[in-house]
Amino acid sequence: MTTLVWLRDDLRLTDNAALSAAAEDPDGIVVLYLLDEVSEHIRPLGGAAKWWLHHSLHSLQQSLTHFGIPLVLRSGAAEEVIPAVVTECAADRVFWNRRYGPAREHDAKLKAVLRQSGVAAHSYPGDVLFEPWTVTSQSGEPYQVYSAFWRTCTSGRDPAVPLSVPKHLKSSQNLAKSESLDEWRLTPSAPDWATGIASRWQPGESAAQQKLEEFLETRAQRYSRRDFPSEDTGSELSPYLRWGEISPRQVWHRTLRTGGDVGLFLGEIGWREFAKHTEFHLGPLHKRNLNSRFDAFPWRLKTDEAFVAWKSGRTGFGIVDAGMQELWQTGFMHNRVRMITASLLTKNLGFDWRLGEAWFWETLVDADEASNPFNWQWVAGCGADAAPYFRIFNPDLQQKKFDADGAYVGKWAPYSLTLPKIIDLKSTRTHALQAYHGLAR
């Protein structure tokens, strides 16, 4: 018989619990990636994410070929495709690593269907340090405040030690038919807007490991300067974590082995963990305000010229325009600049945070279904442990503080210096605060 390994956001061979468990099957395995954008609870990918996925799958194909294992590619609804592949390859077991967002309901239903048909279905720990149901407050409720959440995470047991590549990986003789990666057309062609993304990023598990080592050896010592966008101090691991080319457990344990002051960096891993846990308990995060008081907030719900100016980096606020240009050209934006651009859109321009979140979902290579809306809600003031609504990121002051020499703006949007500013910050801030205080009336 055969064990089918169903990969999702875990495109790696190391620290892959489902793959390691399946490798014990003496009859061999079939490895499947399913492009499912039609099933309920599945959010279709944005354009930049599709580009990354294409190249990540290509890298994974090469890694599996080393062991003589083909990567089976299929598209469609999982509830239809998975049973079909099980039949084709005569699989008696299906293994996968867990998802923690709304898709877990879909996984649970599929697991029940498989078991009813006599196929063993098992799931394993996914892309978190700790399973969400193991980290709760004393009352048994999920945490609403990050500091308390992270103290609990770091005061107990350590995250599981990462697994190595399985020693015995063997392909099953019962293969399933595969679609062509190129036929999926995940990369743009007419026009090819991804040339800047391709020049900045190299997807894949090997590249993820190299990125982590490079960061720890050269930039981690300067991580306290991470808020300065022109300084090369960030880890840039977020897309690799998003696609599971490296696991948070691998990052955690490797970072601790370096020694030194790594608390700030591991805290960022903790913030990602907090987003994942919040999505598990309260998701989906991109559809509704976590703070229901904001359901009555008078957001601007329709896009107009002001939204287009923000999206295209033509606001006249240098650091905002630079961030939006960096995003469009590279599929990435510096973290502090993400907060500044989001604040301008929601608290000065008054647009619904979901409009901005959707644009980031389309253009970020690291667009994650938990972290992306979680962070937007945090800035907008309606999320878990959100910044107080009156904390508005003034883009002019932020630029003076974190890009005083203009290096970041000069690199990405020098033209912005000649543009008129599309809004008056003082008046729009006053209007935003009046609207917020109106919620309590």
Catalytic residue IDs: 268, 271, 299, 335, 353, 376
Write the secondary structure of the chain as one string of H (helix), E (strand) and C (coil).
Answer: CEEEEEECCCCCCCCCHHHHHHCCCCCCEEEEEEECCCCCCCCCCCHHHHHHHHHHHHHHHHHHHCCCCCEEEEECCHHHHHHHHHHHCCEEEEEEECCCCCHHHHHHHHHHHHHHCCCEEEEECCCCCCCHHHCCCCCCCCCCCHHHHHHHHHHCCCCCCCCCCCCCCCECCCCCCCCCCHHHCCCCCCCCCCHHHHHHCCCCHHHHHHHHHHHHHHHHHHHHHCCCCCCCCCCCCHHHHHCCCCCHHHHHHHHHHHCCCCHHHHHHHHHHHHHHHHHHHHCCCCCCCCCHHHHHCCCECCCCHHHHHHHHCCCCCHHHHHHHHHHHHHCCCCHHHHHHHHHHHHHHCCECHHHHHHHHHHHCCCCCCCHHHHHHHHHHCCCCCCCCCCCCCCHHHHHHHHCCCCHHHHHHCHHHHHCCCCCCHHHHHHHHHHHHHHHHC
Given a contact cutoff of 8 angstroms between Cβ atoms, the answer to whether 30 and 2 are in contact is yes
Length of the chain: 441
User: In this structure, is the dihedral angle defined by the CA atoms of residues 250, 252, 255 and 259, taken in order, positive or negative?
Assistant: negative
d(CA 262, CA 210): 18
d(CA 12, CA 135): 26
